[in-house]
Copies of this chain bind each other. A is one copy, B any other.
Amino acid sequence: MAVNESLRVLKTIHYDEGHYSLFLSAGAIGARTKPGHFAMIQAGEGLRPYLRRAFSIADVTTMAGVPALEFVIKIVGVGTAALARFAEGTPLPVLGPLGVPFPIDDLLHSDRVALVAGGIGLAPLVLLARTLAARGIAADLFYGGRNENDVLKRGDFERFLGPHRCRYATDDGSLGRKGRVTELLTHALARGGRYRRVYACGPVAMFRALATLLADANLEGSFAMESEMACGFGVCLGCVVPMTDGRFATICKEGPCVPPTAIDWARL
């Protein structure tokens, strides 16, 4: 069950390239959050932005001893810009945790999984990596960005999963392999890697390529999708994507984590 509450800004850490981590007090949302959940945050009382904005709950952690939710955010417009500027202590209305999280309860100790992140798509994978590590499930991370500065929170991932399990790709080769993140996965598979499931978050182009790749390799996937959202809890019917069964499904309620085989990529 989601909670509609007011959370305080604890800290904002700015990275390069207009990325930042926003730490909010955990409230009642923290204890309920599972990897893949998201929250709707109202960026202030003004009219611009008007609606709340959706963000993956990147981590449930502590900040200066206080239970905290971490969001990792990329500035792309008014809402993400406004959220970067709030003073510590500012109360923000937050609704969460929302949506269908990543399926992980069925994983066995012997399973190995893959995490695929493109750009800001790292966000939901942080808590996933932490949770898998705590359960002792082996996971390989494949993480691509435009350049080195675009690849965030490497320390966390390498701590949770082990540095040797984290592979990077960048468009300009400034970190890891030069090229696409999907190529990292292709290579791993070619070298005999087998995965019980591939968890992924990134831009639509990455999802498309990955969906094909997984279908060809007959691998199961869980994609944390994005879509423009007005409500975040299934009532506006604005955030839908076309499904293979002909329906339009809400990403906020039937997702954000969906099997790629359920999405009608041709109509998307």
Main secondary structure of the interface of A (DSSP, over half): loop
Q: Determine the chain B residues whose CB is within 8 A of the CB of A48 once the complex forms.
A: 46-47
Q: Mark A105-120, 1 if CB is under 8 A from B, else 0.
A: 0000000000000000
Interface size range of chain A in the complex: under 10
Q: How far is the CA of A47 from the CA of B82 in the complex (A)?
A: 13
List residues 174-230 of chain A with CB under 8 A from any CB of chain B: none
List residues 5-50 of chain A with CB under 8 A from any CB of chain B: 46-48
Closest to A82 in B: B46
List residues 73-128 of chain A with CB under 8 A from any CB of chain B: none
Q: Determine the chain B residues whose CB is within 8 A of the CB of A47 once the complex forms.
A: 46-48
Q: How far is the CA of A48 from the CA of B46 in the complex (A)?
A: 6
Q: How far is the CA of A46 from the CA of B47 in the complex (A)?
A: 7
Closest to A44 in B: B46
Q: Write the nearest CB–CB distance from A215 to chain B, whole angstroms.
A: 46
Q: How far is the CA of A33 from the CA of B48 in the complex (A)?
A: 34
Q: Write the nearest CB–CB distance from A87 to chain B, whole angstroms.
A: 8
Between-chain CB contacts (< 8 Å), 5 pairs = A46-B46, A46-B47, A46-B48, A47-B47, A47-B48
Q: Determine the chain B residues whose CB is within 8 A of the CB of A46 once the complex forms.
A: 46-48
Q: Write the nearest CB–CB distance from A90 to chain B, whole angstroms.
A: 11
Q: How far is the CA of A56 from the CA of B51 in the complex (A)?
A: 36
Q: Write the nearest CB–CB distance from A162 to chain B, whole angstroms.
A: 44
Q: Write the nearest CB–CB distance from A144 to chain B, whole angstroms.
A: 35
Q: Write the nearest CB–CB distance from A171 to chain B, whole angstroms.
A: 33
Q: How far is the CA of A46 from the CA of B81 in the complex (A)?
A: 13
Q: Mark A45-74, 1 if CB is under 8 A from B, else 0.
A: 011100000000000000000000000000
Q: How far is the CA of A1 from the CA of B117 in the complex (A)?
A: 58
Q: Write the nearest CB–CB distance from A59 to chain B, whole angstroms.
A: 29
Q: How far is the CA of A47 from the CA of B46 in the complex (A)?
A: 7
Closest to A45 in B: B48
Closest to A46 in B: B46
